[in-house]
């Protein structure tokens, strides 16, 4: 093997080394960063039950807004609780009264909806979404019904968790 | 002609004398010190490289839009750095810190006002810079890739605008952040996960603000600054004369005349030997002081406007974010109004992704591909109706959408 050939193979070795070291350096830096970016997807939040109200005060057929203070569900570090609006609705069905706890978060772009007493709909002022009393989307851009809070009754006291489930 | 005989020589001498005065103090301690530094840093060479550049004589005021964009971005970076003197990126303190600025620190309130109005003026100037480049056909060979870099810069600035709007954590900021982070949930397959990544969890929370703060003050600027560098390096490489106004009469030129023009060309001309007609502008001027003067005047006017708006109107701060709001209507920043209108026009299930991703995506792709879609021969706008007419309709469409959105939001 001539000197020139040896030189080339040494040169090739070093270029390979540069690429390998570069890739290794990049991987060592990127792996923890990518992991930290993705971590919210794998983090399991804990949502405690929060008291809302005594449901005896809620009239049948009139969605009633309650503001409850919830913590951040363990998604991140401890901060003061944040408020959420819960629409407690007593639906008058044929044989019984059904109780639901609606979120006031529009399913389109998550703006805040409110119960319009004159039109008898939940209305979203952002892009004109409309929902009926049980949260069914009946007009505008929303793709699905209003979400509902997980709820439970202890006696006449309503508790919710800050977990949204699909509506009717 | 500019590049001929005695006129050229005289001009050359004048320029050398001018640059010499600028960069070489004649006598005394100053001169000694300057020579010592210059030997080691090469200041004279650098200044010559920056200032000794032939630029087109025609269209020079329109060309100042590019330098104005640069100055305004520098203004944003400067005012942004000094907003960090006070601002706290925390859901509990962000609003408090800005409220303090607004009511107890008049100068900081002006800095904040200049950051906001600087952004507004920047969007207008970038738009005009883009329109100027488009109308004058400057994206044609060899400048195709610099047009694409320009579009990427525009998108980065849009990203800076929308992330900046979230940082005050007042009602407007909070609900902007809610809508923007929810838009991504309509992405196919990984939508929910992307939303969680951006929010730092399924719900809006303290980690949402820190994320967008990091994106606004570090991630996007760290991408923006080197892209601006590349944009300018390519500008100098191609020469500042892509516009049609620099080539009026180029087609009536005889071969001999063109050969003579080419012979007198100097670096960075000819830009491309394969395209001789458009390689050397017809009529030249000096970058310093002719173009720098125009750039300075325009930039001063714009910064003055920004300062006056910051003092007179300032930056608004609504009430602190209330996640339980019942009837708050977030109005998007004006440069996002057309997109907001698409949210209304494409309602329900599968149509929502069409409105938020497909249509803006097609628009952005077409904008990037402009240099390759435009197969017209000349650069004059009236000889390129195939691109000028569709572009006019796109602009009218955007204005129309914005007006519809304004009408909707103010008639609730």
Do residue A103 and residue A121 come from a single domain?
Answer: yes
Q: B286 with B50: CB under 8 angstroms?
A: no
- Per-residue pLDDT reduced to its tens digit, B276-310: 556 666 777 888 888 999 999 999 999 999 999 99
- Per-residue pLDDT reduced to its tens digit, A76-86: 777 778 899 99
Q: How confident is the model at residue B40 (pLDDT cuts 50, 70, 90)?
A: very high
Q: Which neighbouring-strand residues pair with A65?
A: A87
Longest CA–CA separation in chain B, Å: 78
The pLDDT value recorded for residue B2 is 45
Q: How confident is the model at residue B380 (pLDDT cuts 50, 70, 90)?
A: confident
Expressed in angstroms, the distance from the first to the final Cα of chain B is: 63
Element (H, E) at B228: helix B220-238
Instruction: Say if residue B289 is preceded by a cis peptide, omega within 30 of 0.
Output: yes
Q: How confident is the model at residue B50 (pLDDT cuts 50, 70, 90)?
A: confident
Do residue A143 and residue A111 come from a single domain?
Answer: yes
DSSP 3-state of A54: strand
- Per-residue pLDDT reduced to its tens digit, A19-48: 999 999 999 999 999 998 998 888 777 788
Find chain A residues with C-beta within 8 A of B175's C-beta.
Answer: 111-112
CB contact under 8 Å between A142 and B347, yes or no, is: yes
Do residue A108 and residue A63 come from a single domain?
Answer: yes
Residue A77: other Cβ atoms inside 10 A: 10
Tell me the C-alpha distance between B153 and B221, whole Å: 10
Measured in whole angstroms, how far is the alpha carbon of residue A156 from the centre of its chain?
28
Do residue A125 and residue A54 come from a single domain?
Answer: yes
CB contact under 8 Å between A104 and B326, yes or no, is: yes
CA atoms within 13 A of residue A154's CA, in its CB half-sphere? 7
Tell me the C-alpha distance between B363 and B56, whole Å: 32
Q: How confident is the model at residue A6 (pLDDT cuts 50, 70, 90)?
A: low
The pLDDT value recorded for residue B280 is 67
- Total domain count, chain A: 2
CA atoms within 13 A of residue B249's CA, in its CB half-sphere? 8
Q: B321 with B169: CB under 8 angstroms?
A: yes
Q: B232 with B150: CB under 8 angstroms?
A: no
In CATH, B57-336 is 1.10.10.10 = no
How far from B255 is each of A40, B247, B276, B277, B378, CA to CA, in Å?
Answer: 67, 15, 11, 10, 18
The pLDDT value recorded for residue B1 is 39
Answer whether residue B274 shows pLDDT above 70: no
Do residue A83 and residue A159 come from a single domain?
Answer: yes
Find chain B residues with C-beta within 8 A of A114's C-beta.
Answer: 326-327
Instruction: Give the relative orientation of helices B106-135 and B385-410 as an angle to the nearest 10 degrees.
Output: 150
CATH number, residue A125: 2.102.10.10
Do residue A38 and residue A56 come from a single domain?
Answer: no
- Per-residue pLDDT reduced to its tens digit, B386-404: 999 999 999 999 999 999 9
Find chain B residues with C-beta within 8 A of A47's C-beta.
Answer: none
Nearest CA in chain B to A107: B182
Please give the interface size between A and B, counted as residue pairs whose CB atoms are below 8 Å apart: 110
Name the CA dihedral angle for B59, B65, B67, B70, rounded to a multiple of 10 degrees: -160
Q: B211 with B359: CB under 8 angstroms?
A: no
Tell me the C-alpha distance between B170 and B174, whole Å: 6
Tell me the C-alpha distance between B380 and B387, whole Å: 11
CB contact under 8 Å between B328 and A112, yes or no, is: yes
- Per-residue pLDDT reduced to its tens digit, A90-102: 888 777 888 999 9
The pLDDT value recorded for residue A44 is 75
Do residue A109 and residue A26 come from a single domain?
Answer: no
Do residue A24 and residue A69 come from a single domain?
Answer: no
Answer whether residue B4 shows pLDDT above 60: no
Tell me the C-alpha distance between B4 and B1, whole Å: 6
Do residue A22 and residue A98 come from a single domain?
Answer: no
Find chain A residues with C-beta within 8 A of B212's C-beta.
Answer: none
DSSP secondary-structure letter at B196?
H
A88: containing domain: 50-165
Tell me the C-alpha distance between B337 and B355, whole Å: 13
Q: Which of residues 4-33 of A touch B (CB under 8 A)?
A: none
More confident of the two residues B56 and B352: B352
A167 interfaces chain B, CB cutoff of 8 Å: no
Q: B257 with B4: CB under 8 angstroms?
A: no
For chain B, give the mean pLDDT. Answer: 87
Answer whether residue A108 shows pLDDT above 50: yes
Do residue A34 and residue A83 come from a single domain?
Answer: no
Q: How confident is the model at residue B255 (pLDDT cuts 50, 70, 90)?
A: confident
Do residue A24 and residue A65 come from a single domain?
Answer: no
Residue B356: other Cβ atoms inside 10 A: 20
Residues 6+ apart with CB under 8 A from B128: B65
Nearest CA in chain A to B408: A127
- Per-residue pLDDT reduced to its tens digit, B305-331: 999 999 999 999 999 999 888 888 888
Do residue A69 and residue A127 come from a single domain?
Answer: yes
Find chain A residues with C-beta within 8 A of B325's C-beta.
Answer: 85, 112
Least confident of B189-198, B245-254, B265-274, B328-337: B265-274
Global pTM exceeds 0.90: no
Q: How confident is the model at residue B177 (pLDDT cuts 50, 70, 90)?
A: very high
Q: How confident is the model at residue B3 (pLDDT cuts 50, 70, 90)?
A: very low
Q: How confident is the model at residue B67 (pLDDT cuts 50, 70, 90)?
A: very high
Tell me the C-alpha distance between B153 and B126, whole Å: 9
Element (H, E) at A82: strand A82-92
């Amino acid at each position: 093997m001539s000197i020139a050939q040896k030189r080339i193979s040494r040169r090739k070795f070093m270029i390979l080394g540069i690429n390998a070291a570069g890739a290794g350096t990049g991987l060592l830096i990127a792996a923890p960063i990518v992991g930290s970016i993705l971590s919210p997807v794998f983090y399991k939040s804990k949502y405690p039950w929060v008291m809302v109200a005594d449901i005896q005060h809620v009239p049948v057929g009139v969605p009633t807004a309650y503001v409850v203070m919830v913590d951040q569900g363990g998604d991140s570090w401890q901060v003061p609780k944040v408020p959420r609006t819960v629409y407690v609705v007593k639906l008058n069905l044929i044989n019984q009264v059904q109780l639901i706890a609606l979120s006031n978060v529009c399913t389109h772009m998550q703006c805040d909806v409110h119960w319009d007493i004159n039109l008898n709909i939940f209305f979203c002022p952002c892009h004109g979404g409309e929902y009926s009393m049980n949260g069914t989307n009946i007009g505008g851009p929303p793709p699905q019904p209003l979400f509902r809070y997980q709820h439970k009754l202890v006696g006449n006291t309503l508790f919710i968790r800050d977990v949204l489930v699909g509506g009717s | 002609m500019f590049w001929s005989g005695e006129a050229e020589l005289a001009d050359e001498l004048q320029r050398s004398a001018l640059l010499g005065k600028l960069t070489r103090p004649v006598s005394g301690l100053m001169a000694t010190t300057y020579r010592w530094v210059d030997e080691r840093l090469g200041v004279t060479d650098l200044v010559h490289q920056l200032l000794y550049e032939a630029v087109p004589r025609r269209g020079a005021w329109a060309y100042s839009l590019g330098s104005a964009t640069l100055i305004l971005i520098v203004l944003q970076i400067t005012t942004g750095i000094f907003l960090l003197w006070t601002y706290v990126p925390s859901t509990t303190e962000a609003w408090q810190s800005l409220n303090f600025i607004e009511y107890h620190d008049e100068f900081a309130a002006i800095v904040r006002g200049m950051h906001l109005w600087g952004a507004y003026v920047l969007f207008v100037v970038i738009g005009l810079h883009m329109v100027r480049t488009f109308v004058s056909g400057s994206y044609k060979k060899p400048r195709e890739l610099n047009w694409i870099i320009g579009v990427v810069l525009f998108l980065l600035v849009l990203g800076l605008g929308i992330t900046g709007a979230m940082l005050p954590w007042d009602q407007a900021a909070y609900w902007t952040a809610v809508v923007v982070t929810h838009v991504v949930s309509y992405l196919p397959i990984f939508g929910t996960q992307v939303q969680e990544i951006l929010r730092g969890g399924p719900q809006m929370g303290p980690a949402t603000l820190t994320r967008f703060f990091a994106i606004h003050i570090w991630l996007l600027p760290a991408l923006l600054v080197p892209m601006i560098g590349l944009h300018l390096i390519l500008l100098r490489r191609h020469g500042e004369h892509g516009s049609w106004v620099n080539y009026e009469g180029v087609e009536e030129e005889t071969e001999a005349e063109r050969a003579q023009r080419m012979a007198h060309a100097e670096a960075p001309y000819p830009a491309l030997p394969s395209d001789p007609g458009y390689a050397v502008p017809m009529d030249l001027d000096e970058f310093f002081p002719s173009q720098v003067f125009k750039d300075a005047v325009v930039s001063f006017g714009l910064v003055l406007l920004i300062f006056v708006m910051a003092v007179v109107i300032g930056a608004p701060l609504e009430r602190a974010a209330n996640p339980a709001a019942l009837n708050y209507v977030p109005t998007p920043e004006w440069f996002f109004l057309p997109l907001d209108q698409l949210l209304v026009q494409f309602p329900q299930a599968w149509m929502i992704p069409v409105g938020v991703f497909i249509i803006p995506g097609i628009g952005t792709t077409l904008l990037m591909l402009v240099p390759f879609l435009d197969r017209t021969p000349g650069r004059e706008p009236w000889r390129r109706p195939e691109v000028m007419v569709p572009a006019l309709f796109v602009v009218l469409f955007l204005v129309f959408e914005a007006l519809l959105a304004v009408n909707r939001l103010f008639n609730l």
